[in-house]
């Protein structure tokens, strides 16, 4: 169904629990920017927005950002994270419901059950929450049972469900079998990247770059182990290259409020020390967009280490910046990286990653060719303009019954 010509603008609320720095937050910000560019009134509601640790676009005034419930805890003695997240989202939703005029459509990407009081809801599912949670003990399984049930029940109440990849769509169907049996099928809407923010690369030094939040599930230790193994690869000769000049930069979102971020950073530093490469590994926490873009322009390639990542915005950003990507052969990267053309898809082992890294060290011209093709690939398939047009149409279709 195509959008009606000359249709009026929509009043759109976007509800997201924590407007920090990460792939989910990047999508929310891009959605707000694109919807505003289509003439809609866009308002983001959140429980946390640290103006010193956020995407710069949230401060530009293109859309409104309102915080409710910043006083609510993120955890109780480092436990009950899910319960606290639900309470924060419920609080935000209730504030929007009772303190603001009705919106034509509400876009939410987490904790949908808090939003069922709204008439028109689009749910963007990054990944089923129940699969992200641990169910390792009897008490934890009891704790998660009602939460998981509510997640499936209320997901089916959304007017439309969107997911970030075919991988997530398949996982959604296999996880929520009751919804699948009812014929509820999510539509795939790939996240996107603004290619205009990236300039031509300034250099192709022997610098490898990893960008991820400092969380254990991001498997960043794989990048350190693979980088350390470069020196010991059997049968690989690096002509005209001195690997002592090679560096690995590990950058990403870091929140000192989160115990895991603090602990994992120390674990990674200890690993680099044990591998004997601590003097050639740089750690950068919570770099700005400009700093990230500068790092991308100066690296040889990007090492992306999460296994079974739901989508992964970093590979798109890297390719938009003319850089090839080495990633795990699973999850979202399989749908975004063209193996052998815009990067390499590898088994998640240090040896396989280091072999791919060695290919680019041995042949910098290959890295340059891959980078150019990567840029073209992102422009063709993952531009923010394409993302915005599709999202605009989805929201308009959902809001239509209310406006008719």
Better-predicted residue by pLDDT, 8 or 9: 9
Burial of residue 331 (CB within 10 Å: 0-12, 13-18, 19+) is: buried
Mean of pLDDT values over 372-400: 93
- Give me the number of domains the chain comprises: 2
Could you tell me which residue, 20 or 83, shows the higher pLDDT? 20
| Residue 28 and residue 16 in contact, taking contact as beta carbons nearer than 8 Å | yes
Question: Quick check: is 66 in a domain?
Answer: yes
> Which pLDDT does position 73 carry in this prediction?
82
Write down the pLDDT at residue 286: 79
**Residue 52 is encoded by which pair of tokens?**
């010193």
CA 186 from centre of chain:
19
| 48 & 182 share domain | yes
Query: For residue 6, what pLDDT band results from cuts at 50, 70 and 90?
Result: very low
User: In which region does residue 39 sit, left (phi positive, over 0), alpha (psi from -120 to 50) or beta (all else)?
Assistant: left
Looking at residue 1, what is its pLDDT? 45
User: What is the CB neighbour count within 10 angstroms for residue 239?
Assistant: 6
H or E segment to which residue 380 belongs: helix 364-381
Sign for the CA dihedral angle at 30, 54, 39, 395 comes to positive
Q: Are residues 36 and 174 in the same domain?
A: yes
The CA-atom distances, in angstroms, between 11 and each of 8, 123, 166, 363, 399 are 10, 17, 29, 52, 10
Give the model's pLDDT for residue 4. Answer: 55
Residue 76 CA, chain-centre distance (Å), reads: 26
Tens digit of pLDDT for each residue in 240-297? 666 778 899 999 888 888 889 999 999 999 999 999 999 999 999 978 888 999 999 9
What is the model's pLDDT at position 7? 56
Ranges 67-76, 95-104, 197-206: which has the least confidence: 197-206
CATH number at residue 363: 3.40.50.2000
pLDDT at 348 over 70: yes
Residue 184 shares a structural domain with residue 208? no
- Determine, yes or no, domain membership for 4: no
- What's residue 113's pLDDT? 55
Q: How many helices (H) and strands (E) does the chain have?
A: 14, 13
Q: Note whether residue 225 is domain-resident.
A: yes
Regarding whether 220 and 157 lie in a shared domain, the answer is no
Token pair 């296994």 is at which residue? 307
Mean of the per-residue pLDDT values of the chain: 86
pLDDT tens track for 130-144: 555 566 666 666 655
Which of these, 103, 67, 109, 107, lies nearest to 88 by C-alpha position?
A: 67
Ranked by mean pLDDT, which of 31-45, 60-74, 99-113, 225-239 comes out on top?
Answer: 31-45
Burial class (CB in 10 A: 0-12, 13-18, 19+), 160: middle
**Quick one: average pLDDT of 11-19?**
92
Question: Does residue 269 sit within a domain?
Answer: yes
Alpha-carbon 101 to chain mean position: 31
> Of the ranges 85-89, 323-327, 346-350, which one carries the lowest mean pLDDT score?
85-89
Examine the domain organization and report whether 113 and 240 are in the same domain. Answer: no
Q: What band does 349 get if pLDDT is binned at 50, 70 and 90?
A: very high
Distance CA 58, CA 20 (A): 10
pLDDT band at 193 (very low <50, low <70, confident <90, very high): very high
DSSP per position, 331-343: STHHHH--BTTTE
Is residue 263 in a domain? yes
Encoded tokens for 96: 């929007």
Residues 6+ apart with CB under 8 A from 314: 23, 211, 212, 302, 304, 325
For residue 316 the two structure tokens come to: 């798109």
The size of the chain, in residues, is 404
135 within a domain of the structure (yes/no): yes
Place of tokens 């990542």: 309
Angle, helices 221-229 vs 350-362, to 10°: value is: 60
- H/E stretch holding 266 reads helix 259-274
**Whether 227 and 324 share a structural domain:** yes
Rounded CA-CA distance 241/262 in Å is: 35
Same domain, 71 and 203: no
What pLDDT digit, counting tens, does each position of 290-337 carry?
899 999 999 999 999 999 898 999 999 999 999 999 999 999 999 999
- The pLDDT of residue 5 is 41
Q: Give 403 or 382, the one with higher predicted confidence.
A: 382
What CA–CA distance (Å, rounded) separates 61 from 57?
A: 8
Q: What is the CA radius of gyration of the chain?
A: 22
User: Does residue 390 fall inside a structural domain?
Assistant: yes
Give the separation between CA 205 and CA 360, rounded to whole angstroms: 11
Boundaries of domain holding 373: 195-381
pLDDT above 60 (res 221): yes
Residues above pLDDT 70, as percent of the chain: 85
157 shares a domain with 52: yes
Backbone angles phi, psi at 66, to 5 degrees: -125, 135
Are 19 and 25 in contact, with CB atoms under 8 Å apart? Answer: yes
Residues 187, 41, single domain; the answer is yes
Give the DSSP H/E element, type plus range, for residue 188: strand 187-188
197 within 8 A of 289, measured Cβ to Cβ: yes
184 and 251 co-located in one domain: no
In a shared domain, residues 307 and 368: yes
Residues 25 and 166 in one domain: yes
Indicate whether 161 belongs to any domain: yes
Alpha helices in 299-332 (DSSP H): 313-320
Confidence of residue 364 (pLDDT cuts 50, 70, 90): confident
Which range of 164-173, 240-249, 344-353 scores highest in mean pLDDT? It is 344-353
The answer on pLDDT for 177 being more than 50 is yes
């Amino acid at each position: 169904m195509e959008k009606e010509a000359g249709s009026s603008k929509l009043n759109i609320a976007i509800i997201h629990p924590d407007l920090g720095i990460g792939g989910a937050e990047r999508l929310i910000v891009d959605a707000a920017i694109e919807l505003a560019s289509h003439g809609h009134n866009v308002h983001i509601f959140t429980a946390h927005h640290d103006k010193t640790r956020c995407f710069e676009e949230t401060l530009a005034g293109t859309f409104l950002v309102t915080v409710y419930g910043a006083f609510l805890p993120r955890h109780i003695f480092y436990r009950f994270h899910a319960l606290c997240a639900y309470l924060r989202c419920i609080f935000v939703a209730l504030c929007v419901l009772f303190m603001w005029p009705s919106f034509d459509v509400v876009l939410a990407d987490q904790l949908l059950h808090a939003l069922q009081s709204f008439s028109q809801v689009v749910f963007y599912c990054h990944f089923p929450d129940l699969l992200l949670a641990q169910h390792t003990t009897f008490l934890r399984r009891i704790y998660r049972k009602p939460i998981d049930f509510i997640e499936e029940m209320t997901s089916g109440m959304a007017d439309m469900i969107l997911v970030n990849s075919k991988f997530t769509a398949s996982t959604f169907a296999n996880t929520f079998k009751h919804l699948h049996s009812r014929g509820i099928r999510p539509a795939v809407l790939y996240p996107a990247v603004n290619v205009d923010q990236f300039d031509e690369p300034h250099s192709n030094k022997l610098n490898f770059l990893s960008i991820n939040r400092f969380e254990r599930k991001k498997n960043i230790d794989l990048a350190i182990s693979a980088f350390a193994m470069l020196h010991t690869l059997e049968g690989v000769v690096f002509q005209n290259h001195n690997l002592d000049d090679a560096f690995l930069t590990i950058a990403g979102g870091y929140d000192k409020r989160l115990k895991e971020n603090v602990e994992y950073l120390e674990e990674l530093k200890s690993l680099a020390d044990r591998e004997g490469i601590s003097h050639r590994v740089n750690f950068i926490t919570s770099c700005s967009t400009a700093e990230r873009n500068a790092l991308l322009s100066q690296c040889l390639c990007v090492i992306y280490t999460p296994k079974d990542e739901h989508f992964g915005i970093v590979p798109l950003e890297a390719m938009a910046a003319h850089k090839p990507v080495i990633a795990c052969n699973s999850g979202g990267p399989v749908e975004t990286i063209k193996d052998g053309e815009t990067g390499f898809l590898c088994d998640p082992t240090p040896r396989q990653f280091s072999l791919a890294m060695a290919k680019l060290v041995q042949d910098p011209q290959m890295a340059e060719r891959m980078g150019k093709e990567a840029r073209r690939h992102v422009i063709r398939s993952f531009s923010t303009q394409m993302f915005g047009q599709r999202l605009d149409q989805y929201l308009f279709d959902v809001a239509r019954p209310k406006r008719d």
